[in-house]
Structure 1
Amino acid sequence: MPELRVGERSLTVEPACNLLDALLAGGVAVPYSCRAGSCHACLVRCLRGEPLDAKPGALDGERREQGWRLACQCRIVDDLQIEVFDPLRDGRPARIDSCDWLSPNVLRLRLVPQQTLRYRAGQHLVLWTEGGVARPYSLASLPGEDPWLEFHLDCRQSGAFSDAARNFRPGDSLRLGELRGGALHYDPDWQARPLWLLAAGTGLAPLFGILREALRQDHQGDIRVVHLAQDPTEHYLAEPLAALADSHPQLQVEQPSAAQLPAALAGLRLVSRKTLALLCGHPHSVETFARRLYLAGIPRNQVFADLFLPHA
């Protein structure tokens, strides 16, 4: 039976058991969210031994060389000694610049990191509270233009991080964890092509950053933004989007509610086979978008999606 060591703790585990499950069963506090190798909340570092990793490509080469692994994707096949990610030791400090409610359920969080963070529109970060609660959130800010890192937090449902976020105040400290690439980005080679951005809920956050990146790079093709919300009060970026549309004639913005979505999607008519589509939000909404785009004739390799997976 393999032995799993975490600090001074020693656990005897079943062969080939999942590392995250073994840690949780042994009383080791490891944050996790998606269990799919996407959010990077469950980072651990291997000090001795090597687990069987189902997604070795989920981390970059430098991180892997340092021994970091995603616990949810690893199985224990031999004796293993690890240490869990410690935000005080391994995270990057940041200060809350502001936190404002953009709608009844969406909290805008702006952070100023202690050290400059290089990122691109569409990426996401794991945020850590001072109490050790971690959750990944997409960046809505635009690098090189916004002096802060901006996140849009969906606080509609109760959760460890969203409950803590309701009590955030300017000046509070947070820690920044792993910066993740994600499938969403803006490529300068797309400049002349039609661009469709379809978001559900706070899936609008990364697409808002990408939209502004496209406009900053003087995107010449038509841009269509569709933001799905449960009701009109949750179209939380209605004014900024309207202002962008007023100053950029190639930009069209639609903001359907759930009841209006079928009609809005039916109105998506393909003008060019070169159209690109970026989708973000809850898996069910993204799948609904993707089905309509397929029927509209957009090739699958021109559709890019990032799913906001529910907490496992």
Structure 2
Amino acid sequence: MPELRAGDQQWSVAFGSNLLDALNAARLRVPYSCRAGSCHACLVRCVRGEPQDALPEALDARKREQGWRLACQCRVVDDLDVEIFDPKRDGSPARISGADWLSPSVLRLRLEPERPLRYRAGQHLVLWTASGIARPYSLASVPGNDAALEFHIDCSKPGAFADVARTLMPGDVIRLGELRGGALHYDPDWQTRPLWLLAAGTGLGPLWGILREALNAGHQGPIWVVHVAREHYFADALETLAQQHSQIQVALVNTQEAQTALAGVRLASRQTVALVCGSPASVELFSKRLFIAGLPRGQVLADVFLEKG
């Protein structure tokens, strides 16, 4: 049986054991969210030995050369020594400059990192609380446009991170973990093409950033923004942009009416690019309606928000 070492603990594990499960079974509290290699919350660094990695492409070459692996995707097949990601050692501090409620259940966090962060609208960033809870969230801010990093946090249900987020105040410090690219982005080559942005709930966050990035880039084509939600928390901001830019149309759709409202979607141009974001069910609904409308699958970019515990 392989020997696994982490910190001052060493123990035997069954051959082929999932590394994340083995570490958490030893009460080492490695955080995770998706278990699919997407969220990057379960980073560990291999200092001796090599696990069997089912998804090596999930990390860039520089990270892998440094020994970092996603524990959820690794199996222990030989003796292995690992270091667990320590936000105080490996993360970057950021001070909360704003924590305001956009609706009764949506919290907007604004963070000012101690060191400048290079990012693009729509990317994911892992946030670490002082108590060691880590979750990935999508950036709603635009580099060069917003002074602070902005995140829209869904606090409608109990959850380890959401419960802490409700108590955060300006001046508090949290840590920033892995920054990674999501599926959503704006390409300047789309400048004259119709752009559809379909969001459910706080899926509006990254699309809000991408919408403003497109406008900053001088997007000329029509832009259609659809927000499906129980609470349209950014309605005024969207309507203001629509008044300022004649090519923007906004549709605010109640959750219960989404099926009916989207059934009438018609494609005016096969050059349309659609970005969709939200829960698995909402992304599936959006994607299905776009496919029925005749939009090629390669022109639909989707980002799924998994429920964060």
- Structure 1 residues 236-251: aligned runs within 5 Å: 236-251=233-248
Paired with 1:107 and 1:270, the residues of 2 have a C-alpha distance of: 34
- 1:72 maps onto 2:69 in alignment: no
- 1:301 maps onto 2:301 in alignment: no
- Structure 1 residues 260-299: aligned runs within 5 Å: 260-299=257-296
Look up the match of 2:146: 146
User: Any idea what SS the aligned residue of 2:219 has?
Assistant: coil
Look up the match of 1:95: 95
Look up the match of 1:85: 85
Paired with 1:24 and 1:267, the residues of 2 have a C-alpha distance of: 48
C-alpha contact 2:121 2:140 (8 A) present in aligned 1: yes
How far residue 311 of structure 1 moved from its aligned partner, in angstroms, is: 3.7
Look up the match of 1:129: 129
- 1:201 maps onto 2:201 in alignment: yes
How far residue 151 of structure 1 moved from its aligned partner, in angstroms, is: 0.2
How far residue 259 of structure 1 moved from its aligned partner, in angstroms, is: 1.8
Code of the aligned partner of 1:150? E
User: Any idea what SS the aligned residue of 2:225 has?
Assistant: strand
Code of the aligned partner of 2:123? Q
C-alpha contact 2:265 2:293 (8 A) present in aligned 1: yes
User: Any idea what SS the aligned residue of 1:255 has?
Assistant: strand
Look up the match of 2:58: 58
How far residue 106 of structure 1 moved from its aligned partner, in angstroms, is: 0.1
- 1:7 maps onto 2:7 in alignment: yes
Q: Residues 135-187 of structure 1: CA distance to partner in whole angstroms, max 9, x if unpaired? A: 11100001001000000000011011100011101000000000010110000
User: Any idea what SS the aligned residue of 2:243 has?
Assistant: helix
Paired with 1:262 and 1:44, the residues of 2 have a C-alpha distance of: 42
Paired with 1:3 and 1:221, the residues of 2 have a C-alpha distance of: 58
How far residue 310 of structure 1 moved from its aligned partner, in angstroms, is: 2.1
How far residue 11 of structure 1 moved from its aligned partner, in angstroms, is: 1.6
Paired with 1:122 and 1:158, the residues of 2 have a C-alpha distance of: 25
Look up the match of 2:111: 111
- 1:218 maps onto 2:218 in alignment: yes
Consecutive unaligned residues of structure 1, counting only runs of 5 or more, are: none
Query: Runs of at least 4 residues of structure 1 off by over 3 A?
Result: none
- 1:40 maps onto 2:37 in alignment: no
Counting matched residue pairs gives 309
C-alpha contact 2:135 2:308 (8 A) present in aligned 1: no
Paired with 2:153 and 2:113, the residues of 1 have a C-alpha distance of: 18
Code of the aligned partner of 2:264? G
Percent of residue pairs bearing the same amino acid type: 67
Consecutive unaligned residues of structure 2, counting only runs of 5 or more, are: none
Code of the aligned partner of 2:105? N
Paired with 2:267 and 2:254, the residues of 1 have a C-alpha distance of: 22
How far residue 266 of structure 1 moved from its aligned partner, in angstroms, is: 1.9
How far residue 277 of structure 1 moved from its aligned partner, in angstroms, is: 0.5
Paired with 1:168 and 1:193, the residues of 2 have a C-alpha distance of: 41
CA RMSD of aligned residues (A): 0.8
Look up the match of 1:259: 256
User: Any idea what SS the aligned residue of 2:157 has?
Assistant: coil
Paired with 2:285 and 2:32, the residues of 1 have a C-alpha distance of: 27
How far residue 267 of structure 1 moved from its aligned partner, in angstroms, is: 2.6
How far residue 8 of structure 1 moved from its aligned partner, in angstroms, is: 1.2
- 1:22 maps onto 2:22 in alignment: yes
Look up the match of 1:186: 186
